[in-house]
Structures are given as C-alpha cells and as structure tokens.
Amino acid sequence: MNKYSTLFLLFFSAFIISCSSDDDITEPVIPDGDFANGTLILNEGGFSGGSSVSFISNDLSEVENSIFENTNPGQSVGLFPQSIFFDGDRAFIISNGSNIISVVNRFTFELIETIDGDLDVPRYGTVLNGKVYVTNQAAFDSDQDDFIAVIDLETLQVQETFLVGAVANHIVNSNGIIFIQNPSLFGSENPVSSISVFDPSSNNIDEVIQVGDDLNSLKAFNNNVYALDDDGLKIINTVDFSIETVINKPSNLTSLNNLRIESGQMYYTSGNAVYSSSISSGELSSEPIFDYGSELANGALYGFDVHEGQFYLADAGDFASDGTVFIYSSSGDLLADFTVGLNPNGFYFQ
C-alpha cells in the first residue's frame, strides 16, 4: 500500500469517528414554555375566591400573576388551592375548597385534565410507581374519615380510597413506602401527633409511629424520613420504621416549623427567624441566619422554602389583599420582593 492510500484511510477513519462522536452527543432537553425557568407561587385566596398561581423568573427580574386563568380563559384553579406536586412535565394543583385537582403542563400551564371525583378536602400528594396518592381530610371535626385517594397516572381517575384512621395531611414516599403526617385534630385539646406508614403493595397501614406534639413538617431525604415537631427533630428509619435519632429543640426557641433540606443543610423557622444546621449535626442551631421582620400591616411568615441557597418567604399581610414574596440570599440579604396573589402559601421550583 502506498503512502497516499495510507493517508486516505487515516483521513477517512478520522472522518467517520468524528461524525460518530457528533451523533452520539446528547443535547440537553430544554423545556418549552413560558414558565419553564422560575418559581411557581400558590396563592390560596379567601372564602370569596381570589385564588391563583404566580410565577417569578429565575433571574428575579419579573413576576406574572394569575397564570392559570390567563392561560386557560374561563377556567378557575378552584377554591383554596393547598399544594402542588409534579410528575414529569405535569403539575397537579390540589384545591381543597373545590375538591378538585387541576392537572396542567407545568411549563406552559395549559390545562390537561381536572380530577373531580372521589375527593373530599384533598390536601397533599406524592407519586409512586405509576400512581398518585393524595391525602383527604374530609370532615374537619373527625379524624376517622380521613383517607388516601389512589389515582392512576395514565387515566387520571381515582381507582380506590383507603381510610387512614387519623388526620391525614402531608405525605411523602421513601423506599417504596408512603408516610402520612397525622397532626392533632383541629380544635382538639390533645396535640399528640403521629406518622402512619402505608404499604402500597398491600394497601394497609402497617405501622403508626408516635412522635411529639404538633408535628408540622415531614421530609424524605436519603432513604430516611425527617419529622419536625414541637420537641425537635426525629429521623426515622424507612426499613424498620424506628426513630433512629432525636435532636431536641433549642431551649430558647418557642416553636419549630417549615423544615427544608438542601445540599447537606437543614433549614427551619421559628417565629419569623430562619435557622440552619448541618444534616450531620447532632444539634439544631439556636442562632438565626436572619430575622424576617415584616413591614406589612399584620404581616407574618405564611410560606417558606429554600432553593439553590436562596430563601423564599411569603407574607400574607392582612389576609384580605395581595400578598408579598421576599427572596433573600444565603446570608440573609434581601435580593428582591414581588407583589403576588391573595394569601401566598407555597413555592414550587421549575
């Protein structure tokens, strides 16, 4: 073989390899829609209505209010929207005052379906193995009619319901098991709380884990469940359902709320102050990162979350007019504030 043939083969081989490498490159999929890059804020409204969803862009440059109604003319998100959860490119908006779940494309907010059967004051949902599990509170004066509604992700129909035997509120899943927050009954003088362990393979409550009074936060992280109550933090083993770790509340704090976990840190609030502790720490910090002092009339912390090191706080003000969202840096410096809808209660990050 002469040198020209050899050079041709080398060039041809390099060409083929180059083309193959280009073909194998997977470009990142960028969601298509006006609401793909930012934060959703759920505004629960009041008894006369006023519920809505707002959107704040990731660069904190703009806010758009009433995105559900603007995208779906003539449609309403329902009375008292309580929470949002995601499955792929779909968002499920639970409105307990209307007993509906609005399923929308999470990036365009176009309405896909409304689930409106076999629900009774729905609260929170979680997705596991092709099904949605939604807690329902039913009558406010009873803890014996609360149930889980099981919804098929393909048909978006309620398949079956199961009584919990206690108040059913927040719900998370870990290791193929579902954990349901059982706070005390509204108006009850007994504040004792528990966590019900629901096995979706048998559709049974297999265990009830007793925790402290006024359980307010339930988070699944690294195959454990973290429960924040009036006594402090409890870390629950999701295999044998034992309480592995108990971390007491700092003596100088009157309450603990809004547990969030991100990048190895636990965040929580007490009053209007924000705190942080390492997830590997054996204690909860009693020194605030910053204390949010509302300048609004009757203002108070009504919603809280953490995303990429920034703190998102919702202030409902007087509960009769539009609320305000404040966004702070990791060191507690105010980055931006926005007027949103009536009674903002939660944040959901796209």
**CB-side exposure of 142: number of CA atoms within 13 Å?**
12
Q: Which two tokens stand for residue 73?
A: 């003319």
Same domain, 169 and 255: no
Residues 133 and 223 in one domain: yes
* Shared domain check, 279 and 190: no
User: End of a domain among 183, 216, 244?
Assistant: 244
| The pLDDT of residue 339 | 98
For residues 228 and 205, membership in a common domain is answered with yes
> Under DSSP, is residue 24 helix (H, G, I), strand (E, B) or coil?
helix
pLDDT of residue 297: 57
Across the 350 residues of the chain, what is the mean pLDDT of every consecutive 10-residue run? Answer: 41 42 54 93 95 97 98 97 98 98 98 97 98 97 96 97 97 98 84 94 96 95 96 97 97 94 96 94 95 71 95 94 96 96 97
How many domains does the structure of the chain reveal?
2
Report d(CA 239, CA 109) in Å as an integer. 38
pLDDT, residue 18, reads 45
Statement to judge: residues 148 and 234 lie in one domain: yes
Would 262 be classed as within a structural domain?
Answer: yes
**DSSP tag of 163:** E
Give the Cα separation of 50 and 97 in Å (integer): 12
The CA distance from 256 to 231, in Å, is: 8
In a domain, 29, yes or no: no
- Is residue 15 helix, strand or coil? helix
Sheet holding 232-237, edge to edge: 217-221, 224-229, 232-237, 243-248
Residues 209 and 318 in one domain: no
Half-sphere exposure of 180 (CA within 13 A, CB side): 32
Residues 121 and 140 in one domain: yes
Distance, in Å, from the CA atom of 85 to the CA atom of 98, rounded to the nearest integer, reads 17
Which of 250, 162, 255 is CA-nearest to residue 217?
255
Contacts of 173 (CB under 8 A, 6+ apart): 126, 127, 128, 133, 179, 220
Q: What is the CATH number of the domain that holds 276?
A: 2.120.10.30
* Domain stop point among 244, 273, 290: 244
By C-alpha distance, which of 94, 63, 64, 65 is closest to 77? 94
Q: Is residue 284 part of a domain?
A: yes
239 and 262, same domain (yes or no): no
Q: Residue 62: which residues within 8 A CB-CB, separation 6 or more? A: 56
User: Which pLDDT value is given to residue 189?
Assistant: 74
In a domain, 304, yes or no: yes
- For residue 243, what is the enclosing H or E element? strand 243-248
Residue 254 lies in a domain: yes
Residue range(s) defining the domain that contains residue 306? 249-344
Residue 170, in any domain of the structure = yes
pLDDT score of 186:
79
Q: Is 167 helix (H, G, I), strand (E, B) or coil?
A: coil
- pLDDT for the residue 326: 96
Check which CATH number belongs to the domain holding 204 and give it: 2.130.10.10
Q: Looking at the domain assignment, is residue 255 inside a domain?
A: yes
**Tokens linked to 272:** 């209007």
On whether both 237 and 292 belong to a single domain, the answer is no
Q: Does 255 lie in the same domain as 226?
A: no
Sequence-distant (6+) residues with CB within 8 A of 233 are: 226, 227, 245, 246, 247, 256, 259, 266, 284
Among 201, 225, 244, the domain-final residue is 244
pLDDT at 295: 66
Token pair of 217 as six digits: 């936060």
Task: Mark whether 275 and 332 lie in a shared domain.
Answer: yes
Please indicate, yes or no, whether residues 261 and 335 belong to a single structural domain of this protein.
yes
3-state SS class at 3: helix
Q: pTM to 2 decimals?
A: 0.89
Q: What residue type is 17 in one-letter code?
A: I
Report if residue 37 sits inside a domain: no
Closest of 131, 173, 134, 176 to residue 155, by C-alpha: 131
